[in-house]
C-alpha cells in the first residue's frame, strides 16, 4: 500500500532545495590538533548509496559551518533518501577511505522541510555502526530557493582592524566571511575569502556571489560581514557588521569606497551604551549585476531567427540502408526529422514571419555545383523557407538528391550563421536574436578551428545549439560547454567568451529538450 503524497509538498514539486550544513561538538580524532571536518552527502538510488557532493574541508574545528551547500530538486512522488557523513581530512587524497570517519546520519528529504515555512533546521546526532559513543551533532538547514541569475560583485578591504586579544603582539591573519540569517536566529556562512597574512588593512581579491546564495533574493534579509583571525589552531572574531543587501546597495560612497564599521559581539553584549568599534570594512565595489536570460528578452519582444544546418556526411550511412540515419521510410524513425520538428517548432513560435534559413553540409548535390555548406532547397538563390513543414519537405527532397561525403566541418556553418546575425537590422523597436541549430551524427573534425570561430563570433546576438543524433560518442563535444577547456584554446585577442554553445544529445521527450535549450 503506497502512502499518500502530502499536497503541500506536491505543490513544491520541482523546486530547488538548498541544504546548508553546520556541526557542533564533533569527535576530536586528531591527537595534537582538532578535527579537520568535511561533509559528504549521498543519495540512495536503486537501493545503493551514491555520493552527491562534498563541502569544503575546514581546518582545526569541532564546530564547523560549511560554506559549500547542496542543491537538490524536490520530487514528492518518490522518497528521497539522504545520508550525511563527516570525515576528518588528513591528506589531499580524494578517496574517502584515506580519511578518518567521524560519523553519519540519514534522513528523507521530506522530513527536512516544514512547508509553508521556506526555511527549516533539523538537528540530528551523528553515529557510527556498532559504537554508542557520541560523535557530535549535525544541523541540517533547508531553504526553498527563489529563481535568480543576478549576482553581487564585491571588492573589500579591512581598515585599522583591532589587534587586541590573543594576537595583540602581531598583526592578524585575516579573512572575510559573509553569512545570511536563518530566521533571524543564527547566521550561516555563504562566502569566505582567502586569508591575508600579517595585516590590519587586508585587501581581499574581488569576487562575485549570486543573489540566491547571498540572501535568496530577499533584499531586506539580514546578512553579516565578519572579519576573523586564524592563528593556525584557533579562530578569533575581530568584528562584524549586520546589515542587508538593500542597506548596502543604498550606502553612500565616501570618495572611492563605501565604509561600514565593525564591532565586537562580546562588547555588544556587555551593555555599554557606546559600542566599541574594532575597525571597519571598505567596499571599493559593491554592485548588484542584473543577469537577464534569453527568455527575459523574448518576453520583452525579442524575435528568434532560426538557422538550421544538417549533417549529410557519409558517416550517416547510405540512404538506401535500413540503418541509415537519413532513412525517410515509414518503417524507421528519422531522428533528423524528429529534431527539426521538435526544436524548430519551439523556436519558430517566437518569429512572426516564420522564415527559416536551412543549410546542408558535407555532401554533393547531384548534377549541381554547390559549396560545402549549401542551401537545403538546392537553389543557390533561395536559402530560406517558410515554416517547419517547408524545412522537412526540403530535407526529404535533398536526401534523395545528395551524394554523402565528408568530413564534418562545423566552422563553415558557424561562419554562415554569423554573417546572417551581422546583417540583421536591429533597433530598440526591432530586436532579433539568431539561433543556429546544428544537427550532426558524429565527432566534429575541425574542432580547434570551430572553437576559434565560436570565440570570434561571441560578441554577436547568436547562440549555437548542437544536437547529436545516432549512437556515436559525443563526449568530445563537452569541450564546448567547459569554459576552462575553451579558454585554453582562445586566441590572445579574445579575453572573454560568452556562453553561446549548447550541446544536447537528442532526446525524444520534448519537455526535456525545451528545458535544456532555454536555460542559458
Predicted pLDDT of residue 2: 46
Beta bridge partners of 179: 189, 224
Cα angle for residues 99, 103, 107 (degrees, 5° grid): 130
Phi, psi of 230 (to 5 degrees): -110, 115
Residue 173 cell numbers, joined: 591573519
Query: Do strands 501-505 and 277-289 pair parallel, antiparallel, or not at all (unpaired)?
Result: unpaired
Neighbours of 38 (CB within 10 A): 21
Predicted pLDDT of residue 476: 57
Predicted pLDDT of residue 475: 60
Q: Which residue has the cell 574517502?
A: 96
Predicted pLDDT of residue 501: 44
Q: Let me know: does 13 contact 84? Beta carbons within 8 Å.
A: no
First to last CA, the chain: 42
Helix (H, G, I), strand (E, B) or coil at 101: strand
| Residue (of 224, 227, 286) closest to 253 by Cα position | 286
Query: Do strands 432-440 and 462-468 pair parallel, antiparallel, or not at all (unpaired)?
Result: parallel
Residue 305 cell numbers, joined: 531567427
Answering whether pTM is above 0.75, one says no
Residue 359 cell numbers, joined: 543549410
Predicted pLDDT of residue 142: 97
Phi, psi of 32 (to 5 degrees): -110, -20
Q: Which residue has the cell 556541526?
A: 23
Left if phi > 0, otherwise alpha if psi is -120 to 50, otherwise beta: which for 513?
alpha
Q: How far apart are CA 452 and CA 429, in angstroms?
A: 33
Q: What are the start-end ranges of the E strands in 250-405?
A: 258-263, 277-289, 303-311, 355-361, 363-365, 373-375, 384-386, 402-404
Predicted pLDDT of residue 160: 95
Q: Let me know: does 408 contact 390? Beta carbons within 8 Å.
A: no
Per-residue model confidence as pLDDT tens digits over 348-370: 888 888 899 999 998 888 878 88
Neighbours of 72 (CB within 10 A): 18
Predicted pLDDT of residue 499: 39
Per-residue model confidence as pLDDT tens digits over 392-414: 999 999 988 888 887 888 888 99
Predicted pLDDT of residue 242: 96
Predicted pLDDT of residue 490: 43
| Residue (of 345, 202, 193) closest to 262 by Cα position | 202
Per-residue model confidence as pLDDT tens digits over 39-77: 999 999 989 999 999 999 999 999 999 999 999 999 888
Q: DSSP alpha helices (H): ranges in 361-446?
A: 388-399, 411-423
C-alpha to C-alpha distances, 362 to 368, 406, 453, nearest whole angstrom: 14, 5, 18
Predicted pLDDT of residue 228: 96
Q: How far apart are CA 285 and CA 155, in angstroms?
A: 5
Q: Let me know: does 395 contact 376? Beta carbons within 8 Å.
A: yes
C-alpha to C-alpha distances, 251 to 248, 257, 260, 282, 314, nearest whole angstrom: 5, 10, 9, 11, 64
Beta bridge partners of 70: 19
Q: How far apart are CA 496 and CA 481, in angstroms?
A: 14
Q: Let me know: does 370 contact 378? Beta carbons within 8 Å.
A: yes
Residue 153 cell numbers, joined: 560583485
In order along the chain (520 residues), what is the average pLDDT of each group of 10 residues?
65 90 91 90 94 95 97 91 95 92 95 91 93 90 92 97 66 95 94 96 96 96 96 90 96 94 74 75 94 75 90 86 80 78 86 90 84 88 91 91 86 90 75 88 80 83 84 61 43 38 41 30
Phi, psi of 511 (to 5 degrees): -60, -35
Amino acid at each position: 500500500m503506497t502512502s499518500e503524497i502530502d499536497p503541500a509538498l506536491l505543490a513544491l514539486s520541482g523546486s530547488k532545495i538548498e541544504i546548508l550544513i553546520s556541526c557542533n561538538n564533533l569527535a576530536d580524532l586528531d591527537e595534537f590538533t582538532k578535527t579537520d571536518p568535511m561533509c559528504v552527502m549521498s543519495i540512495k538510488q536503486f537501493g545503493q548509496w551514491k555520493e552527491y557532493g562534498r563541502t569544503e574541508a575546514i581546518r582545526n574545528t569541532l564546530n564547523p559551518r560549511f560554506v559549500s551547500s547542496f542543491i537538490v530538486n524536490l520530487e514528492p512522488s518518490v522518497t528521497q533518501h539522504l545520508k550525511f557523513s563527516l570525515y576528518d581530512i588528513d591528506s589531499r587524497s580524494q578517496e574517502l577511505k584515506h580519511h578518518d570517519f567521524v560519523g553519519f546520519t540519514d534522513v528523507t528529504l521530506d522530513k527536512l522541510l516544514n512547508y509553508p515555512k521556506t526555511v527549516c533546521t533539523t538537528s540530528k546526532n551523528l553515529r557510527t555502526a556498532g559504537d554508542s559513543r557520541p560523535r557530535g551533532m549535525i544541523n541540517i538547514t533547508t531553504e526553498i530557493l527563489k529563481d535568480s541569475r543576478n549576482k553581487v560583485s564585491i571588492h573589500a578591504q579591512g581598515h585599522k582592524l583591532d589587534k587586541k586579544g590573543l594576537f595583540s603582539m602581531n598583526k592578524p591573519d585575516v579573512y572575510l566571511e559573509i553569512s545570511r540569517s536563518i530566521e533571524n536566529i543564527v547566521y550561516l556562512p555563504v562566502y569566505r575569502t582567502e586569508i591575508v597574512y600579517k595585516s590590519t588593512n587586508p585587501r581581499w581579491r574581488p569576487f562575485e556571489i549570486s543573489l540566491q546564495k547571498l540572501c535568496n533574493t530577499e533584499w531586506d534579509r539580514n546578512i553579516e560581514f565578519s572579519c576573523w583571525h586564524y592563528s593556525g589552531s584557533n579562530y578569533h572574531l575581530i568584528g562584524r557588521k549586520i546589515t542587508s543587501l538593500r542597506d548596502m546597495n543604498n550606502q553612500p560612497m565616501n570618495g572611492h569606497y563605501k565604509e561600514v564599521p565593525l564591532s565586537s559581539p562580546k562588547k555588544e553584549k556587555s551593555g555599554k551604551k557606546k559600542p566599541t568599534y574594532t575597525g571597519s570594512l571598505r567596499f571599493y565595489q559593491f554592485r548588484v549585476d542584473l543577469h537577464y536570460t534569453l527568455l527575459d528578452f523574448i518576453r520583452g519582444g525579442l524575435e528568434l531567427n532560426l538557422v538550421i544546418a544538417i549533417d549529410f556526411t557519409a558517416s550517416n550511412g547510405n540512404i538506401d540502408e535500413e540503418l541509415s540515419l537519413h532513412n525517410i521510410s515509414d518503417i524507421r524513425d528519422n531522428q533528423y526529422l524528429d529534431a527539426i520538428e521538435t526544436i524548430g517548432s519551439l523556436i519558430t513560435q517566437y518569429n512572426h514571419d516564420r522564415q527559416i534559413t536551412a543549410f546542408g553540409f558535407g555532401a554533393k548535390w547531384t548534377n549541381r555545383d554547390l559549396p560545402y555548406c549549401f542551401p537545403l532547397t538546392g537553389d543557390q538563390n533561395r536559402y530560406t523557407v517558410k515554416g517547419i513543414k517547408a524545412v522537412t519537405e526540403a530535407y526529404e527532397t535533398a536526401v534523395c538528391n545528395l551524394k554523402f561525403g565528408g568530413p564534418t566541418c562545423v566552422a563553415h556553418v558557424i561562419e554562415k550563421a554569423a554573417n546572417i546575425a551581422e546583417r540583421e537590422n536591429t533597433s530598440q523597436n526591432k530586436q532579433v536574436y539568431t539561433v543556429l541549430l546544428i544537427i550532426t551524427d558524429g565527432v566534429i573534425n575541425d574542432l580547434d578551428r570551430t572553437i576559434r570561430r565560436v570565440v570570434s563570433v561571441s560578441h554577436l546576438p547568436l547562440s549555437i545549439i548542437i544536437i547529436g543524433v545516432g549512437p556515436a560518442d559525443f563526449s568530445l563535444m563537452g569541450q564546448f560547454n567547459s569554459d576552462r577547456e575553451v579558454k585554453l584554446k582562445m586566441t590572445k585577442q579574445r579575453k572573454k567568451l560568452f556562453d553561446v554553445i549548447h550541446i544536447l544529445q537528442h532526446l525524444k521527450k520534448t519537455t526535456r529538450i525545451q528545458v535544456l535549450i532555454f536555460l542559458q
